[in-house]
Amino acid sequence: MKTLNIGLVGYGFMGRTHSNAFLQAPRYFQLPYKPVLKALCARNADRAKAFADNWGYESIETDWRKLVERKDIDLIDIASTNDTHHDIAIAAAKAGKMVMCEKPLGRNAEEAKAMVAAVEAAKVPNSVWYNYRRVPAVVLLKHLLDEGKFGRIFHYRAKFLQDWTISADLPQGGEGLWRLDVKVAGSGVTGDLLAHCIDTALWLNGSISEVTAMTETFIKERKHNLTGKVEPVGIDDASAFLCRFKNGTLATFESTRYARGHKALYTLEINGEHASAAWDLHDLHRIQYFDHKDEGRVRGWRSVHITDSDHPYMKHWWVPGLQIGYEHTFIHQFADFVQAAAEGESIGPTFRDGLATDYVTDAVLKSAGTKKWETVPAA
Ligand SMILES: NC(=O)c1ccc[n+]([C@@H]2O[C@H](COP(=O)([O-])OP(=O)(O)OC[C@H]3O[C@@H](n4cnc5c(N)ncnc54)[C@H](O)[C@@H]3O)[C@@H](O)[C@H]2O)c1
């Protein structure tokens, strides 16, 4: 079997989920290539070495440019901070590597557009790690929607709530806190959390044509960890928007890091002519489903446990009734990516899909400034 030599950039939270996916995918899925953890790249050599030893990477690099130049790497996987995605992805595509990149694709649509141009010009398989597309329950929703079970979709509602930045003493910038530094992150919850909700929504319900939004930065200044000075906060702490989908659906999206008690509550609900469904990340293996075509006497909301072997991805895992979790979404995405890459194809979300989400997040941030409805360009 041919090998697929992987060079990973970044050893943080996502570096771990991706490394786990590279190791687990060939054990549960039939892959056309054998993934090889060839090199790990991070700036601190000692920590890179410790991570490489723990996960079984054969070598380390401390400069991503060296990693991209290496002839023995087939796939560059970008799991580093948002400010690095653009340069690494473009260099990797120019070097003819396959590219997987964490979300958001760019800090803004302009960056993402250049990244799309690079992978499409190089014709290399590419994908963005919007992993919620590979929760079995969310995939089932997609199948039900595509089969027309919901009929016309009137409403789409999504939220992503957290509470970890409420303290005014929390600094911004540097390790662990780069999400509060607008230069590194690009935006706050809009690009970080709402981007996930938007990607799922575009996949399930088609494109968004216009948005009107409001954002807020509750804590206006924070000490910057890298400069030691108190500096203005440039990110949005909370973001909410109304939008219209091209198919006529009305929708609301909300995200914040100030919802006390909520750690990572991603919820979505769809209301159609014949059916409704709701899903949330805390109960990720279930959908709540209402079908108006059920016999009236027993009609009601049902809670479907997505663990049977005829549910998406589940035949690869345990016996019916036993569930899987968050880390499996990355395993599914990597397995799908490798299977398509063997045919020279890309799986969604592609870089172009990532650009579509960046167009929406850009329009949301623009609308929050102009206080007007903003049109979303087609990707
Ligand atoms: N798909 C998801 O659900 C999900 C979840 C969390 C984060 N993310 C995304 O993944 C990316 C990483 O986030 P994280 O939570 O793992 O962050 P993290 O802070 O845990 O890790 C970031 C990593 O980037 C590395 N890095 C930064 N600059 C670098 C450079 N120039 N060269 C090499 N390495 C560099 C850091 O050393 C660190 O290892 C971000 O783009 C984030 O938006 C996605």
DSSP characters for 148-183? TTT-SEEEEEEEEE--TT--TT--BSSTTTGGG-HH
**Is-contact 60 29, C-beta < 8 A?**
no
Mean pLDDT for 326-331 is: 98
**Per-residue pLDDT at 204:** 98
Centre of ligand 1 to C-alpha 325, Å, is 21
Mean pLDDT for 271-277 is: 98
Centre of ligand 1 to C-alpha 264, Å, is 17
Mean pLDDT for 33-44 is: 98
- Render pLDDT for 39-79 as a digit per residue (tens, 0 to 9): 999 999 999 999 999 999 999 999 999 999 999 999 999 99
> Can you give the C-alpha Rg of the chain in angstroms?
21
Q: Whose CA is nearest to atom 31 of ligand 1?
A: 84
Helix spans in 97-173 (H): 109-122, 136-146
- Dihedral sign for Cα atoms in the order 311, 338, 328, 265: negative
**Is-contact 287 306, C-beta < 8 A?**
yes
Mutate-to-test residue for ligand 1 from 8, 62, 81, highest number of ligand atoms within 8 A of CB: 81
Query: Is residue 299's pLDDT more than 90?
Result: yes
Helix axes 109-122, 82-94, angle to 10 degrees: 20
**Per-residue pLDDT at 143:** 98
Centre of ligand 1 to C-alpha 147, Å, is 37
Lining ligand 1 with CB less than 6 A are: 9-15, 41-43, 64, 79-82, 84, 102-103, 129, 131, 176, 192
Mean pLDDT for 347-351 is: 98
Structure tokens at 39: 């090199």
- Render pLDDT for 87-140 as a digit per residue (tens, 0 to 9): 999 999 999 999 999 999 999 999 999 999 999 999 999 999 999 999 999 999
The whole-angstrom separation of Cα 289 and Cα 146 is: 15
Mean pLDDT rounded to a whole number for the chain: 98
- What 3-state DSSP class applies to 126? strand
Centre of ligand 1 to C-alpha 210, Å, is 30
Global pTM value: 0.98
| For the CA of 14, the nearest atom of ligand 1 | 16
Mean pLDDT for 195-200 is: 99
| Predicted confidence band of residue 1 (pLDDT cuts 50, 70, 90) | confident
Residues in the chain: 379
Q: Whose CA is nearest to atom 40 of ligand 1?
A: 81
CA distances from 69 to 23, 39, 73, 112, 277 (A): 24, 12, 8, 22, 47
**Is-contact 185 179, C-beta < 8 A?**
yes
The whole-angstrom separation of Cα 155 and Cα 292 is: 16
The whole-angstrom separation of Cα 159 and Cα 269 is: 9
Beta bridge partners of residue 272, listed in sequence order: 153
